Structure 1
Amino acid sequence: MKFVDEATIDIAAGNGGAGCVSFRREKFIPFGGPNGGDGGRGGSVYAMADRNINTLIDYRYARRHEAKNGEPGRGSDQFGAAADDIVLRMPVGTIVSDAETGEVLVELLEHEVKVLLAKGGDGGFGNLHFKTSTNRSPRQKTPGWPGEAKKLKLELRVLADVGLLGMPNAGKSTLIAAISNARPKIADYPFTTLHPNLGVVRVGPERSFVVADVPGLIEGASEGAGLGHQFLRHLQRTRLLLHVVDMAPFDDAVDPVKQARAIVAELKKYDPKLHAKPRWLVLNKLDMVPEDERDARVKDFVKRYRWKGPVFAISALAREGLQPMVEAIWHHVAAEQRDKPLPDLRFDTPIGDV
Structure 2
Amino acid sequence: MFIDRARIQIKAGDGGHGMSSFRREKFVPKGGPSGGDGGRGASVVLKVDPNMNTLIDFRYKRKFVGKNGDNGGTKNCYGQNAEPLVVKVPAGTVVKDAETGEVLADLTEIDEEAVLAHGGRGGRGNAKFVNSVNRAPTFAEMGEPGEERVLQLELKLLADVGLVGYPSVGKSSIISMVSAARPEIAAYHFTTLVPVLGVVSLGEGHSFVMADIPGLIEGAHEGVGLGHDFLRHVERTKIILHVIDVSGIEGRDPIEDYHRINKELRLYNERLAKRPQIIAANKMDIPEAKENYEKLKAFANEQGIEIFPVSAATNEGLKPLIERVSQMLDEYVEEPEAIEEVKVYQAKPDDEITISRDEAGDFVVKGKYIEKLVAMTNFENDEALQRFQYIWRVKGIEDMLKAHGVKEGDTVHIGTMEFDYKE
TM-score w.r.t. the length of structure 1 is 0.88
Q: Quick one: percent identity of the two aligned structures?
A: 47
Partner of 1:218: 217
Give the Å deviation of 1:304. Answer: 5.1
Return the letter of the residue paired with 1:330.
S
Q: How does 1:180-191 map to 2 (within 5 A)?
A: 180-191=179-190
Q: Does the C-alpha gap of structure 1 residues 155 and 224 become closer, same or farther in structure 2, counting only changes over 3 Å?
A: closer
Q: Is there any run of 5+ residues in structure 2 with no aligned partner, and where?
A: 338-423
Q: Does the C-alpha gap of structure 1 residues 4 and 342 become closer, same or farther in structure 2, counting only changes over 3 Å?
A: farther
String of CA shifts for 1:133-167, please: whole Å, max 9, x gaps.
Answer: 88653434222222222221111100011100001
Q: How does 1:158-173 map to 2 (within 5 A)?
A: 158-173=157-172
Choose the corresponding residue for 1:255, options 222, 239, 253: 253
Partner of 1:340: 334
Instruction: Give me the whole-angstrom Cα distance separating, in 1, the residues matched to 2:186 and 2:213.
Output: 15
Choose the corresponding residue for 1:327, options 320, 323, 329: 323
TM-score w.r.t. the length of structure 2 is 0.74
Partner of 1:149: 148
Give the Å deviation of 1:238. Answer: 0.7
Q: How does 1:187-336 map to 2 (within 5 A)?
A: 187-222=186-221, 224-251=223-250, 253-289=251-287, 294=290, 296-303=291-298, 306-336=302-332
Instruction: Give me the whole-angstrom Cα distance separating, in 1, the residues matched to 2:219 and 2:40.
Output: 54
What is the aligned-residue RMSD (CA, Å)?
2.2
Return the letter of the residue paired with 2:294.
K
Partner of 1:176: 175
Give the Å deviation of 1:224. Answer: 4.8
String of CA shifts for 1:197-251, please: whole Å, max 9, x gaps.
Answer: 1111111211111111111012243455433332110010111101101122433
Bigger Cα Rg: 2
Partner of 2:417: none
The answer to whether the 8 A contact 2:13-2:65 is kept is yes
Partner of 1:352: none
Counterpart secondary structure, 1:231:
helix
Q: Is there any run of 5+ residues in structure 1 with no aligned partner, and where?
A: 344-354
Return the letter of the residue paired with 1:298.
Y
Instruction: Give me the whole-angstrom Cα distance separating, in 1, the residues matched to 2:130 and 2:214.
Output: 68
Instruction: Give me the whole-angstrom Cα distance separating, in 2, the residues matched to 1:226 and 1:145.
Output: 47
Return the letter of the residue paired with 1:340.
E
Return the letter of the residue paired with 1:83.
A
RCO higher in 1 or 2 (8 Å CA, sep ≥ 6)? 1
String of CA shifts for 1:172-214, please: whole Å, max 9, x gaps.
Answer: 0110111112111111111110000111111121111111111
Instruction: Give me the whole-angstrom Cα distance separating, in 1, the residues matched to 2:25 and 2:221.
Output: 78
Count of residue pairs the alignment pairs up: 336
Instruction: Give me the whole-angstrom Cα distance separating, in 1, the residues matched to 2:331 and 2:295.
Output: 31
Partner of 1:351: none
Return the letter of the residue paired with 1:321.
G
Instruction: Give me the whole-angstrom Cα distance separating, in 2, the residues matched to 1:190 and 1:13.
Output: 46
Give the Å deviation of 1:27. Answer: 4.1
Return the letter of the residue paired with 1:285.
K
Partner of 2:379: none
